[in-house]
Chain A
């Protein structure tokens, strides 16, 4: 094959041998005379050796189908970029965690291992809810040819609008600030029926509305967001019977009697499911 002949013609040495020898001698002298440099080389070599051992153990675990042992080993080997650890990890995760498997396969495919394209197709066929089809990844020249920097001729997916906006929807009409706008009523009613001035039992200076229970800034009112221990549903937790959050009120752990209200907010007694 002529391409092989072309490539095979490469690789001839260009640096004069004497210069290479001097360079090597200098390298040896530097490392022999500097214990720290020696230690650095030793550490790097030992680290790589250790990673190879981990990869070997991972392969052995995969061979004996010990997936529980294989997964953490493959993760470490994949993080170190060894061999096919990432591909093996993705295969192993296909049943355990399809989302992560898909992510890993996509990364592998971007590096040119087209086996992952097939695995992605299978995965996405079995998990139709998961992301884009594998063909979208496989056919993306920017992924397959990572080094591609020339114009790859991306298709125009979005038409130009009349004002140059991508979606062609034109500029939105801006509303002047002084014009009253009739906004739709988006906030839900108080689900617990606590609307009204006595909803939190404290009242306010302004006439209460049905949304007051959501407004923490009102003076004299307590907000669930500002009052640890009074979050919605907090009273369901055992420690909430003392009325304090363990995380946000140090020193007042459950059992601390100081200032503990006798009942959590909105506590209407034990729930009855009968």
Chain B
């Protein structure tokens, strides 16, 4: 039992548990902070909104850590919470009316080879041009490396939906990449 007022042993135990919890959640934060931030930006959040969501949801993870620590991938739980909070802040399409300037800045000159451009920024901008649901699935599967089942769990959708949306997303992404002059080895078209 913890939290007994005036019981120094209980108080010390509680404090050390909290310390252990914060150490574990802190490690999760260090490992995934930027990844989740990037995922939120790709899904249409502004940098400021993404910062807010990252911070609020890690506190939710911390709050539920006793249950979450037993998950195979606690990070998936954080992604799920971030996805849910993103919707609450942005709505269905929400702020997806992105700044055209931002997109244009991110699109490379067609004359450039892919090695010459800021790959990450460019790819993020191109993924953001996908329809929202396809962009989310593509990012979680191909960038974050979650399995079909994990992606389905994060997005609260069926595994069949993940597969079909990934198929559409990949097709659309390649098309967008070509339209914007990206070339890469192995592109046969």
Measured CB to CB, the residues of A under 8 A from B are 1-4, 6-11, 13-15, 17, 20-21, 23-25, 27-28, 31, 41-42, 44-45, 48, 51-52, 55, 80-84, 107, 110-115, 144-150
Contact = CB atoms under 8 A, between A and B. Distances in A.
B184 interface: yes
Contacts of A111: 92-93, 131-133
Interface of B: 22, 25-26, 29-31, 33-35, 38, 44, 55-56, 58-60, 62-64, 81, 84-85, 87-88, 91-93, 96, 98, 100, 103-104, 114, 119-120, 123-124, 127-135, 138-139, 142-145, 155-158, 161, 164-165, 168-170, 172-174, 176-177, 184-187
Nearest to B158: A84
B84 A82 contact: yes
Contact of B96 (A23, A31, A115, A147): A147
Contacts, number: 158
Contacts of B85: 44, 48
A83 B83 CA distance: 10
Contacts of A23: 29, 33
Contacts of A51: 84
B133 to A, nearest CB: 4
A84 B142 contact: no
Given A7-B142, A13-B30, A28-B59, 6 more contacts: A24-B22, A24-B26, A24-B29, A45-B60, A112-B165, A147-B131
B168 A107 contact: no
B157 A114 contact: no
Lowest 8 A-B CB distances belong to which pairs?
A112-B131, A83-B156, A81-B87, A147-B129, A2-B186, A112-B134, A149-B100, A7-B142
Given A24-B30, A113-B161, A7 B123 contact: yes
Nearest to A17: B30
A45 B67 CA distance: 14
A21 B22 CA distance: 10
B59 A81 contact: no
SS class of chain B's interface: helix, strand, loop or mixed?
Answer: helix
Contacts of A114: 164, 168
A168 to B, nearest CB: 31
A42 B98 CA distance: 31
A23 B104 CA distance: 32
Contact of B161 (A11, A21, A82, A84): A84
A203 B162 CA distance: 75
Contact of A48 (B25, B84, B92): B84
A7 B174 CA distance: 11
B172 A8 contact: no
B87 A80 contact: yes
B51 to A, nearest CB: 10
28 contacts: A1-B186, A2-B184, A3-B173, A3-B177, A6-B184, A8-B142, A10-B38, A10-B123, A10-B143, A11-B144, A24-B25, A27-B58, A41-B60, A48-B60, A48-B85, A52-B156, A80-B87, A81-B84, A84-B156, A107-B92, A111-B92, A113-B161, A115-B161, A115-B164, A146-B131, A147-B44, A147-B103, A149-B100
Contacts of A84: 156-158, 161
Contacts of B156: 52, 55, 82-84
B22 A28 contact: yes
B60 A8 contact: no
A161 B139 CA distance: 47
A2 B185 contact: yes
Contacts of B139: 7
A6 to B, nearest CB: 6
Contacts of B172: 144-145
